[in-house]
Each structure stands twice: as structure tokens, then as C-alpha cells.
């Protein structure tokens, strides 16, 4: 999987959690290293000499393996987020600090209300982080299927 190399990030989020606890708010933070773009898009960035491709004889086979590995990692990230949604059903807000293209944005997620808000200081086109929004929505659908608290009617399974 991944190794936590940046202890200052963990310290920062613990410090933020203490501030939130003092204010009496029920808030949680997703681990930014578990959801970072480089993690879930990793297989799409692999070179042709990557170990996963050693048995691939053609470009077509390499592309197929890349897509399979990419899908596996997306599922790992989605299950992590869904699990956290389940664990934090008592929280008012879940913050998801997300890094892509060397830029940080924050998703403010309210699973109980079926809402999320993107805070982006650079005002990137939402299509640049659409894959992560899709992962969040996949996680939310799983959370709802597992009985998570939510207000959505059965025909609506996305947070917006």
C-alpha cells in the first residue's frame, strides 16, 4: 500500500482535530495520503518497464493491466472512504483535503445530509478532479447500502 512519510501532515490534522473538539463540533478528517491523486491514478502513470507489465507482450495488454490496476486502487480508496463514513456517522462534517496537480482543495462532506462542497482557491475546472468526485459518490452509495444515515430518496445516490 502506501507509507506515511510526512509526519507533519499527521501532526497538522491532529492539531486541527483538537481545535474542532474544543469548539464542540463533530468533525472528522480523511487521511490526505490515502486519497491523494497520485495514489489512485498511480497505475496510469507507470512506465512500460514496471514490474506489473513484465508478462505483457503488447501495448494492448499493458493498457489492459493498467486499467485493471487503476480500478483496483480506486476500489481501495472508495472502500476506505466508505468505511470512514460508517465509522463517523455521528459527525456533522467530514473534511477531505485532496491534492492533485500540486494543488490542494478541500471537500466538505455532510453524509447525513447527502451534500458536499468543494473549496478551491484556484477555481480549477471541476473536470480536473472529477475522478475523485466519482470515488466520493461511489463511497457514498456503499455507505447508504450499508445502512448509513442519509436523507436521500432511493433514486438519488449522489452527493451534490
Q: Give domain limits for the chain.
A: 7-145
Report which of 97, 80, 75, 82 is spatially closest to residue 29, judged by C-alpha positions. Answer: 97
Given a cut of 60, whether residue 160 has pLDDT beyond it is no
How do residues 33-44 score in pLDDT, each as one tens digit? Answer: 899 998 888 888
100 phi and psi, to 5 degrees? -145, 145
Percent of the chain with pLDDT over 90: 48
pLDDT digits (tens, 9 = 90+) for 87-130: 999 888 999 999 998 899 999 999 888 889 999 999 999 999 99
Q: Check: pTM over 0.85? Answer yes or no.
A: no
Given the candidates 3.30.310, 1.10.357, 3.30.70, 3.40.50, the CATH classification of the domain at 7-145 is: 3.30.310
Report the mean per-residue pLDDT for the chain: 84
**Residue of 77, 113, 112 whose CA lies nearest to 96:** 77
Amino acid at each position: 500500500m502506501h507509507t506515511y512519510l510526512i509526519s507533519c501532515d499527521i501532526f497538522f490534522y491532529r492539531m486541527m482535530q483538537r481545535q474542532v473538539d474544543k469548539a464542540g463540533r463533530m468533525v472528522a478528517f480523511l487521511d490526505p495520503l490515502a486519497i491523494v491523486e497520485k495514489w489512485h491514478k498511480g497505475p496510469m502513470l507507470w512506465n512500460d518497464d514496471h514490474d506489473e507489465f513484465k508478462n505483457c507482450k503488447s501495448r494492448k495488454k499493458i493498457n489492459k493491466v493498467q486499467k485493471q490496476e487503476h480500478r483496483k486502487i480506486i476500489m481501495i480508496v472508495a472502500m476506505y472512504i466508505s468505511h470512514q463514513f460508517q465509522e463517523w456517522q455521528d459527525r456533522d462534517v467530514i473534511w477531505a483535503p485532496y491534492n492533485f496537480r500540486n494543488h490542494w482543495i478541500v471537500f466538505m462532506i455532510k453524509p447525513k445530509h447527502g451534500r458536499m462542497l468543494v473549496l478551491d482557491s484556484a477555481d480549477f475546472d471541476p473536470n480536473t478532479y472529477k475522478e475523485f468526485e466519482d470515488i466520493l459518490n461511489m463511497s457514498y452509495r456503499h455507505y447508504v447500502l450499508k445502512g448509513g444515515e442519509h436523507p436521500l430518496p432511493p433514486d438519488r445516490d449522489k452527493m451534490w
